[in-house]
Amino acid sequence: MTSLSTHSIMSDSSTTSTAESDVIDQENINRDPIFYEPSRLQSTSILAENNQISTLACKVCGDKPRGVHYGVLACEGCRSFFRTNRDKKEELKCRKSNKCVVDKYSRNKCGKCRMEKCLKLGMDYNLRRPANGGFGKGRKLVIKKIQRAHDYCRVCGDISFEHFYDIVACEGCKGFFRTHHEKDIKLECRVDGNCDINIISRNTCKSCRMKKCLEAGMGLKHKVFSKSEFTEIVNKVGRSFGQSCTYKDTDIESVEKSNFELTRFDDPLINRINAWQVYAPIIDFENHQTGLFVNHLPFIKTFEINDKVILFKRNSFLMFVLRNIKRFSSDGFMLPSKFNSKIKIPYETLKIVYGDHLINEIISIASKLESMDLSHHELSVFTALVFFLPFTADAPERTRNKEKFKSHKTLELVYHCYKTFLNRMFSKYENGHDTISELDEMTFKLEDLNKLHRNNTISFLQVNSKFMKIPLFLCEVYEIPKPKSLSLSQLLESTNADCD
């Protein structure tokens, strides 16, 4: 299998899936309580969150900026000044020695020095945003300059300083949304309904701009979703879940045990390394299948790529367990169809792979979920809920400097949305509240299971990776070093040396 990077597998897919899954019963699951859906922002390379706005200022005078104007971060006053006086540079005169201080208090005292400072900082009329929606000569330069700033409008990517209509948005998109959303105006796209909306092109198509405003979450916090909208979202999660699974219920009924082609040694460490050498490609394949699932989840596009990668790394093991919950039993684990859907890895082999405690916890959780008799869609939405679990205060993703997760508020909002989905789905049952309580308790068990896997299995692989040939993608997901693998004979020599 060709190895893919985590960034690659978490990139937005442009292919629309056509596979069908069982259709959820609309009349049974839909009720009328208000619930909220967070944004579904199309990912953008210039997305940023949680930055200190207080450090930003107009490059010319130091006043509060309102965006990048003519290629420079500038306030409204300096933007207007430059636009008005761009053809009057020769007429401007300084009454002193061309060394006037230009700040927000003195900026109106000397037009000559103010213009000189504008030009020195790089303000250029060619870097304007054309009112007619065309592309100025400096389009790439404008975007590059804006990418260096701190916080960005979720709709067009312009610099933003505040939240408007529940999201980070610029003044322009705030005004656009306020003007068109509150009026019953039918907007139509003249092209294909998928125009690119950015700081340069945002005025070209009102229909696509409004579409992106809504996808970004503007005003959606207080939106009540119709039955059809709710059904569409739940069905999408169910389809994604089904497409990621590599088994059929009929396969489970006819599996056989296998010795998993293991050569046994007297040393438990050698046995575990040997078992993982064979087992690693299976987990690598399952991680790719997890990518198929999470990449099509509603609201996944709300997160920038780095945050999606962090979520994927944190939850890949839990997604593997939950997607394959029917394949785990006290007898072992049924292999994915890619390898052999009629073969089961025996329990004794899984003990070598994961250790007694971890594999027993996996089987216990699988047994508990099986006894709850969840439907396909209920299990699918619960699995998505687990993927979007907020980070605890002591989580490494909150404390470490590298690869620190940024979008905590967004994650909490998305989690709340899936939680509301689940509550609504179980509202049709007489004991639905009890089931929800059981699933709440299950999330805590799954978090503990994830910690156990990280401390027991991932740490083992990180320490002993030099003795194995582990797929590159799995190395990236588990943050395993990627040295050249050693032969088994080298491993035995190393073990003997340690014993001397």
Angle made by CA atoms 74, 161, 184, in degrees to the nearest 5: 105
- In terms of domains, do 218 and 235 share one? no
Q: What pLDDT is recorded for position 188?
A: 85
Of residues 457, 458, 497, 455, the one with CA closest to residue 481: 458
Cβ atoms within 10 A of the Cβ of 385, count?
Answer: 20
The verdict on residue 272 lying in a domain is yes
The verdict on residue 487 lying in a domain is yes
Question: Domain boundary at 186, 202, 222, which?
Answer: 222
Q: Is residue 473 classed as helix, strand or coil in its secondary structure?
A: helix
Q: What tens digit of pLDDT does each residue of 160-191 get?
A: 756 777 677 888 898 898 888 766 567 888 98
Cβ atoms within 10 A of the Cβ of 398, count?
Answer: 12
Q: What is the CATH number of the domain that holds 191?
A: 3.30.50.10
Cβ atoms within 10 A of the Cβ of 221, count?
Answer: 14
The verdict on residue 48 lying in a domain is no
Query: Per the structure block, which two tokens stand in for 288?
Result: 């790719």
Question: Domain boundary at 107, 125, 148, which?
Answer: 148
- In terms of domains, do 204 and 107 share one? no
The verdict on residue 49 lying in a domain is no
The verdict on residue 44 lying in a domain is no
Q: What pLDDT is recorded for position 383?
A: 97
Q: What tens digit of pLDDT does each residue of 14-64 get?
A: 444 433 334 444 433 333 222 223 333 333 322 233 333 334 678 899 888
- In terms of domains, do 414 and 487 share one? yes
Question: Domain boundary at 222, 238, 256, which?
Answer: 222
Angle made by CA atoms 190, 195, 200, in degrees to the nearest 5: 115
- In terms of domains, do 238 and 210 share one? no
- In terms of domains, do 190 and 276 share one? no
The verdict on residue 315 lying in a domain is yes
pTM over 0.75, yes/no: no
Confidence at 216, pLDDT banded by 50, 70, 90:
confident
- In terms of domains, do 358 and 298 share one? yes
The verdict on residue 336 lying in a domain is yes
- In terms of domains, do 141 and 158 share one? no
Q: What pLDDT is recorded for position 33?
A: 28
Q: Is residue 333 classed as helix, strand or coil in its secondary structure?
A: strand
The verdict on residue 52 lying in a domain is no
Residues 47-72, buried b or exposed e (16+ Cβ, 10 A)? bbbeeeeeebebbbbebebbbbbbbb
- In terms of domains, do 78 and 181 share one? no
Within 13 Å of residue 183, how many CA atoms lie on the same side as its CB? 10
Q: What pLDDT is recorded for position 220?
A: 54
**Between residues 2 and 430, the one the model is more confident about:** 430
Beta strand pairing status for 256-257 and 343-346? Answer: parallel
- In terms of domains, do 198 and 239 share one? no
Range of the domain at 109: 57-148
Handedness of CA 211, 213, 216, 218 (dihedral sign): negative
Cβ atoms within 10 A of the Cβ of 361, count?
Answer: 19
- In terms of domains, do 354 and 438 share one? yes
Q: Say how many domains are in the chain.
A: 3
- In terms of domains, do 139 and 274 share one? no
Of residues 349, 279, 351, 348, the one with CA closest to residue 320: 279
Q: What pLDDT is recorded for position 147?
A: 47
Confidence at 318, pLDDT banded by 50, 70, 90:
very high
Q: What is the CATH number of the domain that holds 241?
A: 1.10.565.10
Pairwise CA distance, residues 129 & 68, whole Å: 10
**Between residues 159 and 434, the one the model is more confident about:** 434
- Return the H-helix or E-strand segment holding 246: none
- In terms of domains, do 101 and 217 share one? no
